[in-house]
A and B are shown apart, each in its own frame.
Chain A
């Protein structure tokens, strides 16, 4: 620790008390629990472990939520979707739904949800649905079609029955960041852009033990060894690849789901088809858009998912059955995520695989000690998955410590439930219009600066997940240039003697509770410090940012620009026609013809994400390079 901090700027005193259980003997770390995977599950596991007093390190190969967590439709399940087909999941969902509304309040919009019977949905499913809701304890009330249409005027008027359930909309980016901050406050270390390249193993045949992991910092390209008493594999769709490193077979059923976002909220309530869960049968209002989901297709590779024009057209046609005319709405983006489904011995379609969580204890299952895999489940049940995992971890480590996550709110909940107008309200109340860098999503310059300074930032896509930069109709057309210019302005000169070597931002720079709030960002506040109104940004924020210049990619504006343009292109490619195609052509006019961004210096520079955005080659090069 002392060696690492000696190179630091003196006005950033070390915060050692939070990390006293971690000893740093370069180039290795040791801890009690090592969590692999920075999605909702892994972050939840780290939070639970740290709250129970375990020394905890989490490693994630990219940014938090880069995997499936950041690519789902945003539904906070009531359980209604599974009451008939998978009642066990339904019971888990409604229990967790109630808990998350208390622990992650500001990450949830209380939209409520409808299950609607369209003319195409025949048979006795609605009655079975109602009965199953009662059996599983999912609150459900039938309301009149007229009442439903008053609340949702765009809904198909030909529906025959409507049931209301306590569905919600969740911001999985914010929730995971908030959970990560809570974990850090409890003493956990979170290392993003750290990829596990191998597991450390002891013992011979029949008495193997996982003792840690070999981890590569994908930004600095340094390799570190992390020793741990227990390694928890929470890598979702990648869990099979990690387990393989311990010689253990875990067969994940990767179910690809395609989602399509419209540029408006067509509905303010979650709309489900009242039928067996299938493709394109759910519409979720999330922030400024509504998301139609989803498909379910077994795929071989969780990376480089391809979305075909046919898949998008199918989703739009299904969407038309819920909201007639949806297929003519302006579509801003399409993306795909991979469900990490697991069912021991299962060989059918991924749609039929259980949504329940699975905890694999590799000591009992495979004779490998010190290693657990947690998979399956869904975003809504991430906290419960973490609880069950750490319960088992306590057994392994021979201690009894009770789980407290269900009654421990994460930072920021005093903001109350999310509501659509909160940014506009704050921008108008505080007169922040002049600072807007992303007019689509109402992101201010201060929000960009604050997000970049207060949590690890390697690419503009990390900022997108933090503050919704570039997520609106123009898909980065205007804000990409502005964000690049701003980050470059506040970045530190290269070869600074104070260059920070430690692989992590200080706690005071990891502050995500108010990432979404223009007003709080403009005050430069942290959760504890309340600046007086009118105080300037400069006085409340450090003038230079370790979070920006520590990592080289973000200090190269040309690389930031190229990566983000490609990242945005990837998501609009499947939905370019009509007005969105015209918008895309304007983005070409700006970035090619006006900026000449394809003729900038540093053409060969690469970030850890460059290969991923390009799809294929670059990513493989990184893997082969080890």
Chain B
């Protein structure tokens, strides 16, 4: 018998699974796909911009000003801080350590693939040296013919923002005779000792004293920390990764190490299983049914965590009549049921698109609720992108909401079982 069945293998589901498994729960994760981590920067964005568009420097101070229905409002600063701290521990455990800004509690400002400064709270050690809060000159090195990274653009925009930055190229032939390589293939090629030596040597010739070196985020896959250390040793300069157009190597690194870690702890993670139905027993979910290649399967559990993501993750679907629905349990949504009110005329409108603020409403335990605030099911919880009350992409809180709600729910579930027991 499963104690906790998690639907969704994104950061929310995996974080919750880790905490629950560590506390001795029998956990199973089922998922249709991989979650948003593969498409993002591999960082933990907690809150980058407030509702009025101001950049967030001191995180907890900004979080305190959020409305009560925001996931962070429901959690409170203490639970958020402890979730982030636990996540840092987790990254060290999986051999992919994350760190924050030099001044604790502040955001990092890291170069984006177009050379803007993107606010994030925790980043893999391989990205931290890019922090634009310091004034060290930057050399951005690209790979000729690589279509997902443009160093000249990054360097020019950094210069326009007052940084000292220049760019250079290394030839793709340094890594492969092929022309059509993906970022992930490049990352694996870089790990081969002869190629790594050539890369290090090439960089050493380019870098000037006092510079730090930014490279596309393809610096190894399994051996990323070793690749990074080797490049810093040979060049004598701080070396850091800048994210590329997706798929994201740092994101895939994080996801695959987390998944492997959970599996080593005895958690089953089944990807390629889409939840297609469920059964109830009174006010409780009894089972969730999934579609597999051979036959439908029923998964029974004591508690169920919905971590399927919002519109992007596939947890919410919609049609041309303006109907929007939650795909597994058909939970009540806060999205208006008419397309007229979903959007604003400008893509970059600072207020975001209204449709993306909608989602599943929850109580302070993160149980989905009806409009009258009673729980829909007593053993169902919801975490991450599917939650109502925030537009995580606009405010740059995608991973922060996932990690903080995933962590918190794991403990809420444990407490509920203690009470039941």
Interface residues of A (CB under 8 A from B): 309, 312-313, 316, 327-328, 331, 431, 433-437, 445, 478, 481-482, 484-486, 488-489, 557-558, 561-562, 565-566, 568-569, 573, 575-578, 581-582, 585-586, 588-590, 592-602, 614-615
Interface centre among B149, B153, B322 (most CB of A within 10 A): B153
Whether B393 contacts A593 by the Cβ 8 Å rule is: yes
* Assembly CA distance A478 to B149 (angstroms): 12
What 7 pairs across the A-B complex have the smallest Cβ distances?
A434-B179, A485-B150, A569-B347, A434-B180, A596-B116, A585-B312, A601-B160
Known: A436-B147, A478-B245. A602 touches B160 (CB 8 A): yes
Task: State how many angstroms separate the Cβ of A312 from the closest Cβ of chain B.
Answer: 7
State whether the Cβ of B39 lies closer than 8 Å to any Cβ in chain A: yes
* Assembly CA distance A327 to B321 (angstroms): 10
In the bound complex, residues from chain A placing their C-beta under 8 Å from that of B318 are: 577-578, 581
Residue from B45, B113, B180, B398 in contact with A595 in the complex, judged by beta carbons closer than 8 Å: B113
Interface residues of B (CB under 8 A from A): 36, 39-41, 45, 55, 112-119, 145, 147-150, 152-153, 156-157, 160-161, 178-181, 243, 245-246, 248, 310-312, 314, 317-322, 338-340, 342-343, 345-348, 350, 353, 355-356, 393-394, 396, 398
In the bound complex, residues from chain B placing their C-beta under 8 Å from that of A614 are: 345-346
Residue from A316, A485, A598 in contact with B348 in the complex, judged by beta carbons closer than 8 Å: A598
Task: State how many angstroms separate the Cβ of A313 from the closest Cβ of chain B.
Answer: 6
Residue from A309, A433, A489, A585 in contact with B180 in the complex, judged by beta carbons closer than 8 Å: A433
Task: State how many angstroms separate the Cβ of A589 from the closest Cβ of chain B.
Answer: 6
Given contacts A489-B152, A558-B114, A600-B115, 4 further A-B contacts (CB under 8 A): A436-B180, A595-B118, A596-B116, A600-B114
Whether A488 contacts B150 by the Cβ 8 Å rule is: yes
Whether B39 contacts A595 by the Cβ 8 Å rule is: no
Task: State how many angstroms separate the Cβ of A523 from the closest Cβ of chain B.
Answer: 16
Whether B314 contacts A582 by the Cβ 8 Å rule is: yes
Task: State how many angstroms separate the Cβ of B311 from the closest Cβ of chain A.
Answer: 5
In the bound complex, residues from chain A placing their C-beta under 8 Å from that of B118 are: 593-596
Residue from A433, A573, A588, A599 in contact with B356 in the complex, judged by beta carbons closer than 8 Å: A588
- Closest partner residue, chain B, to A561 (CB atom): B114
In the bound complex, residues from chain B placing their C-beta under 8 Å from that of A327 are: 320
In the bound complex, residues from chain B placing their C-beta under 8 Å from that of A482 are: 147-148, 150, 245
Task: State how many angstroms separate the Cβ of A337 from the closest Cβ of chain B.
Answer: 19
- Closest partner residue, chain B, to A313 (CB atom): B320
In the bound complex, residues from chain A placing their C-beta under 8 Å from that of B112 are: 594-597
* Assembly CA distance A545 to B127 (angstroms): 36
Known: A577-B322, A578-B317, A594-B113. A565 touches B347 (CB 8 A): yes
Residue from A312, A434, A566, A568 in contact with B181 in the complex, judged by beta carbons closer than 8 Å: A434
- Closest partner residue, chain B, to A596 (CB atom): B116
- Closest partner residue, chain B, to A562 (CB atom): B348
Whether B312 contacts A586 by the Cβ 8 Å rule is: yes
* Assembly CA distance A508 to B340 (angstroms): 48
Whether B153 contacts A589 by the Cβ 8 Å rule is: no
Whether A309 contacts B343 by the Cβ 8 Å rule is: no
* Assembly CA distance A600 to B157 (angstroms): 8
In the bound complex, residues from chain B placing their C-beta under 8 Å from that of A590 are: 39, 245-246
Whether B393 contacts A592 by the Cβ 8 Å rule is: yes
In the bound complex, residues from chain B placing their C-beta under 8 Å from that of A582 are: 311-312, 314
* Assembly CA distance A436 to B115 (angstroms): 23
Task: State how many angstroms separate the Cβ of B160 from the closest Cβ of chain A.
Answer: 4
